A and B are shown apart, each in its own frame.
Chain A
Amino acid sequence: MFLVASLYFTRPKLDLAPAMPKDSHAFLGFWLVKPTQPAIPVFLNWESKNKSLFFLGGAEQSKNEPNQMIVLEWLFLTIAPCDAAEPWQLGSQDAATPMMQGIIDLHHDIFFFLILILVFVSRILVRALWHFHYQKNPIPQRIVHGTTIEILRTIFPSIIPMFIAIPSFALLYSMDEVVVDPAITIKAIGHQWYRTYEYSDYNCSDEQSLTFDSYTIPEDDPELGQSRLLEVDNRVVVPAKTHLRIIVTPADVPHSWVVPSSGVKCDAVPGRLNQTSILVQREGVYYGQCSEICGTNHAFTRAPGNIGRLLSPLWLSRTTQGASHPRSKLLQRAAGAVWSRGARQ
């Protein structure tokens, strides 16, 4: 990993590299040059401008090895698996759950019909405009009745919505019902303007609880490479490839818990518990924001922490036992937050 990274440290032009694979874990080195994190290319350029290549040289390397490894781990583990929106992004974010994949597929299916209709209608329209001309066609055709065309233009437009509606409803109802038993229940409780998360599957009394607050890192405070108003102080850590039940409710005004790459948008209504189910198929850090206007800080200090560092169930079980040694600072912080809360309450 170190070699890959050093290669790109010495090549400042690489931040212009186009169209890198977006979700490939094999291209760790390329993550640095994605336009997602504008801070990183600047950082790279700065390195090379100052000719600080000895930073990676042999002697320095052996002396500073632990430091460098910390820097690299910090770069790769906190920035690399970043599922956030990109500047000038047009499509959806990369799907992390089957639901999101379904949504993207439905979008593409519908676009097929959309473009078909657009082309067909445009052709009729343009052709009519073209031929309706006082010199070329001084006497316009006067068609007032045509049984065949009327039948066709009634039947086809009624079949097309069926082709759209059937996959749409299939997707909708598959999202609605939870048929499998989930492995974990996570409660996401919306506040003005932060989220509280509760993991209470292993509670032995009503008082004891694994609870922590997740605040957005303010606009002037993010560390290098963190996404502005997306990063939070305590991430939600959930296991990958596991059915999760998310119970969403607010403690004050309506909120909405949203993670675009997981295809989840669940309104939080006071006095009501809404359930949504996700199965995250790959490890990563997923970002989301509140999607219901919930007060002054809805858009600014509040981009609430629907962020999961998704790891294997084993990892979670280690964390909940407090015996883990998470490698990155953020993971340590996440684990620490969970534990300090748990111990205090």
Chain B
Amino acid sequence: MSYQLYGLMHRGLMTYSGKGEVVPALAETVEQVDSLTYKFMLHDGLTYHDGTPLVADDVRAALLWYADPANSARSYPGVRFIKDIAIASDTEFTITLNSVNLSFLEYLADPSAFIVPQNQLSADVEATNGAGPFKLESWDEGVGLVLTKFDGFYGADDVTLDRIDVSFYSDATARVNALLSGDVDFIDYVPWESYDQLEASGFVVHGEVGVFQSAIFNVETGPFADPKLRLAVAYALNRENATAAAFFGHGTSLFGVPGSGPTGENLWEYNPERAKELLAEAGYANGGPKVHLLSNSTYVFLRDLALSVQADLEAVGFEVEFTSPDWPTFTEEAVAGKYDVTVQGNVGNVQDPAGWLPRLVQPRPEANKSFGYSNADLDAALAEALAAEDAGARQAALDRAYKLIGEDVPFATINQRMQAYAYTDRVSGFEVMLGFTQPYSVNNLINVTITG
């Protein structure tokens, strides 16, 4: 089950409000006692969908389970900072961190950091008994599911829908047709080529930019072990063309780290001449090296982006070999470093760059970060920013990190794509979250009304 649906069935201690701000959820109040200590008070009388009481001990069990690296939890990068959870009563407890993490509460708002009964804390169990606004009525695996309002939810008075019928449409065209034909009222993941058609047909198309795409490299072996060639790529990319090719113009160009402010957002520019100079400096004055550009055939927009990157690289002198296997093959090859350059999408699971950047620049077995990349100075700068209690010191550390990224190019960002939802005019009250929280916007269905 996807984490978008988790937001309807489950709740953690924190959640996101309509526009994406972090707010208390199962926790009625949160008090930051000092930079390392957070005191939580749960709502009175919390229960799971099956009526079992939800108590502080469940919270401790769930958070410690997520903090175990063997469980591969999405919230692991944040909850791993937990040193201790001291329980005072069934509704009161205190969490102590082992080092400062300004994004800690935001990690607790991740839809996958939900609290469930302890018998559901297993990789082999699909957690369906939650404490969120909707309970699972029926589930036809791969086809759809029915959710009904959970009257025991702490915020049940604000939940406007009594029932949500979810149908899975893996094919984008079928999804759009389902809306156009009146089979459904609301769709997510609207394909970019359909925005205009849907709007012209009287549907509301509502989106925000959030997920970003980058060129990432094999820095262990091959030409891109040389940072000069990575920098050449950062200058060679025509972001405007790439956004037009992959997203029909529905996106914004990126020349640095998204959401990082002026010091981090303008690290590079589109300057093919500079790219050629860098190639010459790297010893390729008479034609760039031959590189393997790996993409995939499953996600068409990533393939189209990669084709745009291929054209840009060839324009400055690289010789590019392009391959695009299916997604599972692509991920296996990417994790094994069987490429020179590829194009991937990423989204931070917190807004703070000091919180999400480490995942992209530190060694991990992931397909969406540069293979073999590691930079001790960059790691130190990000760790310093994450732990800094003083805003000035924090920004200084971040600026140092951005400068290193600009020079060493662990990734060359291309664009941030618009991700939209579309619905009939009978639907009102739906909000799209901003920035990296955009993918969680389905949470906001709890405040939607449907007329007629």
**Binding between chains A and B:** no
Where the two chains meet, the residues of B that have a C-beta atom closer than 8 Å to any C-beta of A are none
Where the two chains meet, the residues of A that have a C-beta atom closer than 8 Å to any C-beta of B are none
